[in-house]
Structure 1
Amino acid sequence: MSIDKQKLQALLWAEVAAWSASSPDWLSNSEALEEFLGKQTLEEVALELLDENERLAAGGQLLVRDRDELRAERDQLKAENGLLRQLAIDTGLELRRASSWICREVEAGTKSATHWAVRLREIADKIDAAVGKAVQP
């Protein structure tokens, strides 16, 4: 609505105060309000303001719904992040164990580097599968 709401409010309060006090200024305040409103009646302005309030309230409800959806998405991302962090920790531990084991086996001559390359590929495939499951919605 393209009406100066502050000026309207001041005029309305002046008229209410003058009317309540049975002041002789009541008529001049009422005329000033009518001049400000122009062709619109006070009732039309009030209805337009109520419509505007409803639109603004509806917009606020959309913002609340958007906020709630964003919070839910944030919480889901936090949970996934926690899972991925734990997976990274577990993977790092398993790779360190595998590395130590490989070094001992190769030094002792009991297993070849090719054997361990295959084993590490299996571990990498398990990690890829786990990461794929962790990030699915």
Structure 2
Amino acid sequence: MSWSWTELGTDSDFAEVKSVSVVPDPPELGRNLDIKVTGVIESSPEELEGASVTILVRIAGSTVHKTQKSLPDFLKDLGSSLPSESGPFSLTLSLGQLQGLAPTKYSVRVTGTTTDDHQVFDLDFTFDARPK
């Protein structure tokens, strides 16, 4: 399985993502997947209170899954938490075992926004689970 990521954010985002890595790389079906994200929080964590995350999964341009959660709940569900201060951050998100993926190409957009619709971050991931 191959994968890639792109930051779609702007200079006014509350967080700048510098790197994303996965273990194992490339991801493998039936194995636990951990995603490590590093970057810089440009604002105070208090400004992120009430922020939410929207995850949109698409196959061939069609939305197959959409979910929205508070940013703290999203991070907690993945075994992490919101950094306590502005500046550099490093998060490790544990997704568990990859199981039951159809052999196709997936587009996953993960967007964070504050309660007043200010963008926190905007990331686009591509996972290709087609056999080689």
Q: Which has the higher helix share?
A: 1
Instruction: Sort the TM-score into its range (normalised by shorter chain).
Output: under 0.3
Q: Which has the higher strand share?
A: 2
* TM-score normalised by length of structure 2: 0.17
* TM-score normalised by length of structure 1: 0.17
Q: Which has the higher contact order (CA 8 A, sep 6+)?
A: 2
